[in-house]
Structure 1
């Protein structure tokens, strides 16, 4: 599971940020958004859920069925509990890296508008190779960008990547179920 490699930069960041004068492990975790958040943070995630589910469904509906069955297409088919668990772990790992670490640092340094836009573009980059598998997978890419931007907004609004990680996992699981 190479998804766990995405956790390494956040772990290194937390270790480095927790050393030195006036720095604590807890404050370093907060900087990467590693907090439960309040009930309201999950309310914001619930508000985004219908939009993200709709866009995921539309993008899948626009892709010919034969393309979704191609080897290497990353829309997971749930043939086992292990695959479902892997989908959830991938979503959490992506949230830790892209929204927790990357969006957190970029938004603090260059502001919400540019920081969130940049992290959404970086989130899109690893999805671009889907076009090498089949150009008809293009409808997935705007959805990936929009999802990255909205999850970045959620991270900024709530101060935590956790609601976004749960939302991301639910959307990915649902996308996998849609393609059954």
Structure 2
């Protein structure tokens, strides 16, 4: 829950500033963040991304030795309770708000799709890199995180909303936790 709040605070500040600066409606202020529901076709695109993201998550998990997955400090969030599952979902949504909503929106608008999406995917990778300090054998997660960040950035660009990506991200993270059991 704390991570969700921390990820969402910068976007909330952005919304407040945008509304005051432009004296605009809440709906217009949310559009640059991608904080809009998204069309039905946006969720269709999200559904298409789900299979490759699940496959990549599964491949990364099976490539990590079992002793590493069981080691203290290595946390693949296994949804062992409703509370843990809710935490996994909230973290995924928070990451989408920050990385695809705020940062992705800014990067895509200022740098265009190619460079902007690469930059937001690279920034998304940064908080996942400390996993390598726990055990370098978790490295298969790193390229998967980058690819997922890039694909979710593409979805954000394509649909104008981070919400379909948040749904896919949450399902993928829950599934990764089940793969690790």
TM range (shorter): over 0.9
Deviations 1:29-70 (A, max 9, x none): 111011111110000001111100000000011000111112
Question: Following TM superposition, by how much is the alpha carbon of 1:80 offset from its aligned partner in structure 2, in angstroms?
Answer: 1.6
| Divergent runs of 4+, >3 A | none
1:113 offset after TM fit, Å?
Answer: 0.6
Residues 88-117 of structure 1, C-alpha deviations (whole Å, 9 max, x = no match): 000000000000000001100111111110
Q: 1:21 to 1:90 in 2, by over 3 A?
A: closer
- The structural deviation recorded for 1:21 is 4.0
Report the TM-score, using the length of structure 2 for normalisation.
0.96
Q: Which runs of 5+ in 1 are unaligned?
A: none
| TM-score, structure 1 normalization | 0.97
Q: Counterpart in 2 of 1:172? A: 173
Whether the 8 Å CA contact 1:73–1:130 is kept in 2: the answer is yes
Task: Report which stretch shifted further, 90-99 or 67-76.
Answer: 67-76
Q: Match for residue 61 of structure 1?
A: 62
Is the Cα–Cα contact under 8 Å of residues 117 and 153 in structure 2 kept in the other structure? yes
Shift, 1:24, TM fit:
2.6
Partner secondary structure for residue 35 of structure 2: coil
Calculate the aligned-residue CA RMSD, in Å: 1.0
Partner of 1:148: 149
Report the equivalent of 1:130: 131
Higher helix share: 2
Tell me how far apart the structure 1 counterparts of residues 64 and 136 of structure 2 sit (CA, whole Å). Answer: 10
CA distance 1:109–1:162, shift in 2 (3 Å): same
Number of the residue aligned with 2:161: 160
Q: Find the aligned partners of 1:21 and 1:115 in 2 and give their Cα distance.
A: 24
Q: State the partner residue of 2:13.
A: 12
1:2 aligns with 2:2: yes
- SS in structure 1 at match of 2:21: coil
